[in-house]
Amino acid sequence: MSKPLQVFINQQAVELPIGASLADAVQHAKLQPPFAAAVNLQFVPKQQYAQHALQHGDKIELISPITGG
């Protein structure tokens, strides 16, 4: 049996199944839209979340906009 995939979501270590995509990481984080996602400091368009395969050690940033002034 393979070890789970270890990634970091907003600097927190998370284990996901092998073959997980960015869409799986977003679902795991339970973040409500709107937000933007980057993997290893590279922005990923929302349409590509399901196709963006994650690798061991990837650093995922899920960023919500801040309103106010």
- Which pTM value belongs to this model? 0.91
**Beta-strand pair 5-9/12-16:** antiparallel
CATH 3.10.20.30 is right for the domain spanning 5-63: yes
How far apart (Å, rounded) are the C-alpha atoms in residues 18 and 34?
27
Instruction: List pLDDT tens digits, range 36-66.
Output: 999 999 999 999 999 999 999 999 999 998 8
Residue 62: other Cβ atoms inside 10 A: 15
Q: What percent of the chain stands above pLDDT 90?
A: 83
**Under 8 Å between Cβ of 35 and 44:** no
By three-state DSSP, how is residue 61 classified?
A: strand
